Structures are given as C-alpha cells and as structure tokens.
C-alpha cells in the first residue's frame, strides 16, 4: 500500500516520469503559492474522483467508461471552482481559468483509466493521493524556483538581497520550460546513478 | 438480446451519473452563489473607497457602463466608472475615479486582469497607480500615462480604457 503511495512522489512522478499535466505545470507556477494551490486542488479532484470510480468500477460498462470518468471529474472540478470562488477569492483570481482546466489534466483521467477502475478503494486512495502530492511537490518546487529568481521572493516573502535584480524571464513561459527541463534532467541523472549502484 | 441489454445498461449508468452530478452541482451552486456575490460586492466597495478617497457613501447611478456616485456630507464627491477593455493577454477591468466636473482623475484601481506576472501585472502596483491621483484631464479628454518599462502594451491598454471611460462619463453625466 505504501508502495502505491510513494511511487507517485518519486518513481512514477506524474510530471517528471509520465510527463503528464504539462499545461498547468508550466502555466501557473509563477509563484510558490499558485503552485501549492493548483497542486492541492488537483489532488482533491484526483482523489475524490478516484474513490467514486473505484467504488463503481464493477457497475460502469467499459464502453462508456471514459464519458463516465469525465463527468465525475468535471463534477469535482466545478465543486472546487465554486468553493475557491466563494471562500478563497484571491487564490481563485490568481489561478484564473486554470481551475476549470483541471478537467482536462491528463493525470486525473490517466489515473482512473490506469489504476482506480481496476483496484479497490483503499489502494486507489493511496495511488491517487501519491500522484496528487507528487504533482503538488513538483509544482511547489518549480513555483518557488521561479518566484525566487523572477520576483526575489518565496511564498510572497522577500528574501533576496537588495542588489539582486529579478530575472524577468523566469516568470515568463520560457522560464517555466527552462526550469522544468533542468529539474527533469536532474531527476533522470539521480535515477541513473541510483540504477548503477 | 444480450446486446440490447448492455446498451440499456450503458444508457442507464451514464444518465444516472449525469443526474447525480447535476443535482450535486445545483446544490453547490445555490449554497455558494450568495457568498460569491458578496465577495464581488466587497471588492467593488473596496475599490470605490480607494479611487474616491474620503467618501461617506456611494450609489450606483448608471449601468453600461456602471457608474457609482460618491457622496461626502451630502455633496457629490466624485464618480467612479467601471470599465473594461483588452489588455496584453485578456480583459482588464478598471475602476476609474473622477472629480464631479470630470476635470481631474482621483484614482484608478484594477479589479480584474490576467497580465503577465512580474511585467504587465505591475499595472496593479502602487507605483503605476499613483500617477492617476489628482491627474488633470485635458480639454479634449485624453490623458497620457507614464508606461512601465517592459509592460508598454499593458500600460497603453490602461490608457485606452481610461480614455474611453472618461469619454463615456462626459457623455452620460
């Protein structure tokens, strides 16, 4: 069970290993706060839809499984959107159109197809929670690096010395691609080293 | 026969899921609608207070565009015009504070924008916003803004929106 949980964090990290969910990963990570908000919203959706899909896995006819998964996912995404708008308006404004776009995050549909529709509820929770938190972790790391270099702050707190000039490119899309590329390269390097020993 | 049965089952499951989902979302919508509306009103209230500093009360006197009239001790203190236009990446919505004769701007607040973080979104910052406090409006009603380095398009978009809003305000008031 722990194996199912931890594989999402490192070994099968949805962003670094499966290269899924690139759009939100690159688009919203201009700051650490955006990263954590997007990550947790996605985690909530993937875990809740995982539970429902897993519960009904024997009832859902395989011919209509994709539309059924999509409706379930879309329902949870809309719930998250309404809750953010009502109770966390600042986060909702910062994430803008990317909250409704969680619907098309392929990590979520991918988990239903690959795991929760074939496994019992408890295992599905471990799998989806691991995937969600692995995604969140990557988004926070990416968001923090971009915020430190691009705005001189982290989680909104100013930390860089006065002589530091923010690198504007880091908050632009190019900075997201460069940073993600370097993180993915380091991830592969560490894994290669680990394989050899 | 077998085929027919499985078609029915497909329909039943899909329809059932959709009905449950619709019911759930309807309930969620009803229970959050009030708060979402309050949040929006609170934002407008804060913004009106910011662009028309020192007013006691305000009321909405026009829609299309939305105009608020701010009062101080029974006298008209100024007008706030809600106006939107295209920015660099999407719509920018501004609230523009004007003095009662529309000879001067009293302030500007950005209500909604999706400008680039770190560049275009500095139109929300105090350094850019300060120039609109007590900014005179020339006779022909076209103001000029000091643009932000690296965010010329966003700055000029703000200028354009303000000038349109002033034009409309002059026509209506």
Calculate how close chain B gets to A171, using CA atoms only, in Å: 6
| Predicted pLDDT of residue B3 | 60
Q: Where are the domains of chain A?
A: 2-196
Residue B2 pLDDT level (bands cut at 50, 70, 90):
low
Residue A132 pLDDT level (bands cut at 50, 70, 90):
very high
Residue A113 pLDDT level (bands cut at 50, 70, 90):
very high
Q: Could you report the per-residue pLDDT of B7-32, keeping only the tens digit for each?
A: 888 899 999 999 999 999 999 999 99
Mean pLDDT over each residue of chain A, to the nearest integer: 91
Q: Does residue A9 surpass a pLDDT of 60?
A: yes
Check A61 against B10: CB less than 8 A apart.
yes
Q: Does residue A1 surpass a pLDDT of 70?
A: yes
- Give B13 or B89, the one with higher predicted confidence: B13
Chain B residue with Cα closest to A63: B10
* pLDDT > 70: percent of chain A: 100
Q: Where are the domains of chain B?
A: 49-172
Query: Mean pLDDT throughout B28-49?
Result: 93
| Predicted pLDDT of residue B114 | 82
Mean pLDDT over each residue of chain B, to the nearest integer: 89
Check A60 against B13: CB less than 8 A apart.
yes
Check A72 against B17: CB less than 8 A apart.
yes
Calculate how close chain A gets to B43, using CA atoms only, in Å: 10
| Predicted pLDDT of residue A107 | 94
| Predicted pLDDT of residue B28 | 95
Q: Does residue B4 surpass a pLDDT of 80?
A: no
- Render A85-133 in DSSP notation, one character per residue: HHH-HHHHHHHGGGTGGGGG-HHHHHHHHHTGGGS-HHHHHHHHHHHHH
Q: Among candidates A145, A153, A127, A166, which has minimal Cα distance to A9? A: A127
Residues of B in Cβ contact (< 8 Å) with A71: 14, 17-18, 21
């Amino acid at each position: 069970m722990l194996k199912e949980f931890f594989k999402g964090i490192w070994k099968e990290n949805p962003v670094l290993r499966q290269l899924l969910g690139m759009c939100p990963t690159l688009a919203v990570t201009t700051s650490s706060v955006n990263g954590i908000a997007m990550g947790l919203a996605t985690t909530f959706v993937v875990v809740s839809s995982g539970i429902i899909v897993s519960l009904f896995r024997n009832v859902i006819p395989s011919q209509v499984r994709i539309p059924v998964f999509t409706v379930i996912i879309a329902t949870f995404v809309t719930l998250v959107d309404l809750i953010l708008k009502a109770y966390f308006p600042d986060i909702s404004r910062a994430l803008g159109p990317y909250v409704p776009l969680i619907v098309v995050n392929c990590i979520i549909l991918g988990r239903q197809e690959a795991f929760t529709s074939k496994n019992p509820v408890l295992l599905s929770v471990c799998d989806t929670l691991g995937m969600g938190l692995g995604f969140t972790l990557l988004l926070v790391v990416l968001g923090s690096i971009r915020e430190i270099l691009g705005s001189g702050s982290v989680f909104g707190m100013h930390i860089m010395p006065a002589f530091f000039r923010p690198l504007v490119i880091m908050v632009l899309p190019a900075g997201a691609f460069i940073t993600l590329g370097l993180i993915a390269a380091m991830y592969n390097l560490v894994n290669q080293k680990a394989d050899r020993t | 026969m077998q085929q027919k049965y499985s078609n029915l089952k497909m329909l039943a499951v899909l329809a059932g899921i959709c009905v449950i989902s619709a019911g759930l979302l309807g309930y969620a919508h009803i229970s959050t609608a009030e708060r979402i509306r309050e949040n929006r009103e609170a934002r407008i209230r804060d913004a009106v207070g910011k662009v028309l500093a020192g007013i006691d009360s305000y009321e909405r006197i026009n829609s299309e565009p939305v105009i608020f009239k701010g009062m101080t001790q029974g006298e008209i203190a100024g007008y706030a015009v809600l106006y939107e236009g295209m920015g660099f990446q999407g719509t920018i919505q501004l609230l523009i504070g004007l003095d009662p004769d529309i000879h001067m701007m009293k302030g500007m607040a950005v209500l909604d924008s999706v400008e680039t973080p770190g560049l275009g979104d500095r139109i929300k910052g105090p350094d850019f916003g300060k120039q609109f406090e007590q900014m005179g409006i020339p006779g022909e009603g076209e103001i000029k803004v000091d643009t932000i380095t690296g965010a010329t398009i966003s700055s000029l978009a703000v200028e354009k929106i303000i000038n349109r809003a002033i034009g409309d305000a002059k026509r209506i008031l």
